[in-house]
């Protein structure tokens, strides 16, 4: 059960009323509102709870995740990055950029490509989770500061991966969207820490994670205080070996049905094969995605990481055009 309280209302009397009904409650204060999440089994007449002083609204939510559920917030969430860059609620967000930030020259080229194609959100890792410890692991905080400075000069917002709790604070002033990578989807300490920041968070689905587990990870961040969340389908590990991962487009309509949060699809990691990234990106739009994030680089062959799934600028420009056309088509479909 979710009880929304008036912002300044004391929670104690309502917690006591719920405890008398056998409900355990957690108080949640986000940047937007004040909630109590009640967990219990007894049948409760929510109309009676709704009459208690300070209670704004009461909802029954039967899902294990509550605050990210669409059962209480039926309207889709819009994540606003400022300066006109928005994700969700009937738009199509496009985010592109290299797997890894490599140099100023590389960033400048990507940014010029994005600006030329009217894309205002760039991805790029400075802390890279790599399967091998001998692979390039990113430029770190110094690279992030350069990324931020160059992006600000061009009106571009940036999304980059945070790998551990200690990085949240040091990265904070330089990111527009914190990305939680597939290897960290269930790093609950990191999710808790991101609940304390007033910056949007994109949570990728775990490599072997279920849809429910992704929603529960988002619930961690929301319940720790941050409502500005996005979910990302990026492929899961299956028995299939012909592609890097299996992009689960089933997750798109299912997540949209179960949650009010925007759903972003990453076809680059999802299929892992450069030549097939565009087809999967377009399919994701038709499946209902609110946004697409993919890897792009001037010369994918020389990319420091994930070159095999990275588009060059010509391929990227064509994909951007086609994404917008397919999105327009989606809006025309009945």
Q: Which parts of this chain interact with Mn ion (CB under 5 A)?
A: 99, 306
Q: Which is nearer to ligand PEP, 71 or 130 (CB)?
A: 130
For residue 108, CA distances in Å to 99, 145, 154, 246, 265 come to: 15, 14, 10, 32, 25
Told to check if 129 binds ligand PEP by CB under 6 A, we report yes
Question: Contacting ligand PEP (CB under 6 A), which of 234, 260, 274, 297?
Answer: 234
- Give the DSSP H or E segment for 214: helix 211-223
Q: Which is nearer to ligand PEP, 139 or 182 (CB)?
A: 182
Distance (Å, whole) CA 174 – CA 144: 7
CB 66 within 8 A of CB 49: no
Told to check if 137 binds ligand PEP by CB under 6 A, we report no
Nearest to 95 by CA among 116, 74, 76, 121: 121
CB under 5 to 8 A by kind: which of Mn ion, ligand PEP, none does 261 bind?
Answer: none
Q: How far is the CB of 272 from ligand PEP (least distance, A)?
A: 10
Question: Contacting ligand PEP (CB under 6 A), which of 70, 137, 269, 274?
Answer: 269
Q: At what angle do helices 251-258 and 277-287 cross, to 10 degrees?
A: 30
For residue 1, CA distances in Å to 18, 42, 75, 115, 220 come to: 10, 11, 18, 45, 16
Q: Which is nearer to ligand PEP, 63 or 243 (CB)?
A: 243
Told to check if 281 binds ligand PEP by CB under 6 A, we report no
Distance (Å, whole) CA 302 – CA 103: 13
Told to check if 125 binds ligand PEP by CB under 6 A, we report yes
Told to check if 181 binds ligand PEP by CB under 6 A, we report yes
Distance (Å, whole) CA 201 – CA 190: 11
The interface with ligand PEP within residues 11-70 (CB under 6 A) comprises none
Q: How far is the CB of 235 from ligand PEP (least distance, A)?
A: 8
Distance (Å, whole) CA 64 – CA 23: 14
Told to check if 256 binds ligand PEP by CB under 6 A, we report no
Q: Which is nearer to ligand PEP, 1 or 280 (CB)?
A: 280
Give, as one character, the DSSP assignment of residue 181: P
Contacting positions for ligand PEP (CB under 6 A) = 99, 125, 129, 181-183, 204, 234, 269
């Amino acid at each position: 059960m979710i009880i929304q309280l008036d912002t300044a209302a004391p929670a104690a009397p309502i917690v006591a009323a719920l405890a008398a009904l056998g409900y355990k409650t957690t108080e949640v204060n986000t940047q937007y509102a004040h909630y109590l999440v009640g967990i219990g089994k007894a049948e409760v007449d929510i109309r009676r709870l709704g009459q208690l002083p300070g209670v704004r609204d009461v909802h029954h939510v039967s899902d294990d995740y509550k605050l990210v559920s669409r059962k209480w917030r039926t309207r889709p969430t819009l994540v606003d990055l400022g300066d006109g860059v928005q994700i969700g609620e009937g738009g199509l967000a496009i985010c592109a950029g290299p797997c890894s930030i490599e140099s100023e020259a590389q960033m400048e080229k990507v940014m010029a490509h994005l600006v030329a194609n009217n894309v205002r959100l760039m991805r790029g890792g400075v802390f890279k989770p790599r399967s091998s410890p001998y692979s390039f692991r990113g430029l770190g905080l110094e690279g992030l500061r350069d990324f931020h400075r160059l992006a600000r000069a061009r009106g571009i917002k940036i999304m980059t991966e945070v790998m551990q709790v200690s990085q949240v604070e040091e990265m904070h002033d330089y990111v527009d969207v914190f990305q939680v990578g597939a290897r960290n989807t269930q790093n609950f300490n990191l999710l808790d820490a991101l609940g304390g920041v007033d910056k949007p968070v994109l949570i990728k689905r775990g490599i072997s994670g279920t849809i429910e587990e992704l929603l529960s990870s988002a619930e961690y961040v929301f319940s720790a205080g941050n409502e500005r969340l996005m979910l990302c389908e990026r492929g899961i590990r299956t028995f299939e070996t012909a592609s890097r991962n299996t992009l689960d487009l089933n997750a798109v309509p299912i997540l949209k049905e179960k949650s009010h949060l925007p759903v972003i699809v990453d076809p680059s990691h999802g299929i892992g094969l450069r030549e097939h990234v565009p087809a999967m990106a377009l399919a994701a739009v038709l499946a209902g995605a609110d946004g697409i994030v993919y890897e792009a680089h001037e010369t994918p062959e020389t990319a420091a990481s994930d070159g095999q799934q990275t588009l060059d600028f010509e391929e990227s420009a064509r994909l951007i055009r086609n994404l917008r056309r397919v999105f327009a088509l989606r809006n025309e479909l009945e």
